Amino acid sequence: MPIEVNGKTYETDEEGYLTNIQEWETGVADVMSKEDDLELTDEHWAIIKFLREYYEEYQIAPAVRVLTKAVGKKMGKDKGNSKYLYGLFPYGPAKQACRYAGLPKPTGCV
């Protein structure tokens, strides 16, 4: 189902992930999070930005375990744990945050 962001239409797959990751803009995350009744804070944006950078470098959306470790390494142990990340993204930090970031569903997620 396509989503509307600032008058522009973005194609998504059946699970709501953007079809073309190059097309992403921050408005995509705003629209998606509104649908989930989630208000994005700077802490959410930090993870979304981190995922975009991770994808840019490794061409892959990391599994949740790997994301947790990578966040811990880059942003500190207080953030690199499931409690913190699930607190931000209750539907699963990898799945939900990757969707907001315009990335594909993480490899290995079902």
Residues of the shown chain interacting with another protein in the complex, contacts defined by CB under 8 A: 57-60, 62-63, 65-66, 69-70, 72-73, 107-108
The active-site residue out of 8, 40, 109, 110 is: 109
Residue that has been written with the tokens 């209750």 in this structure: 90
CB of 15 to another protein, least distance (A): 17
Phi, psi of 2 (to 5 degrees): -70, 150
Q: Specify the DSSP class assigned to residue 3.
A: E
Residue 98 a catalytic site member: no
Residue that has been written with the tokens 């079902």 in this structure: 110
CB of 32 to another protein, least distance (A): 24
With 0-12 / 13-18 / 19 or more C-beta atoms within 10 angstroms meaning exposed / middle / buried, residue 52 is middle
CB of 72 to another protein, least distance (A): 7
For another protein, the closer CB: 34 or 76: 76
Q: Hey, which residues are catalytic here? A: 109
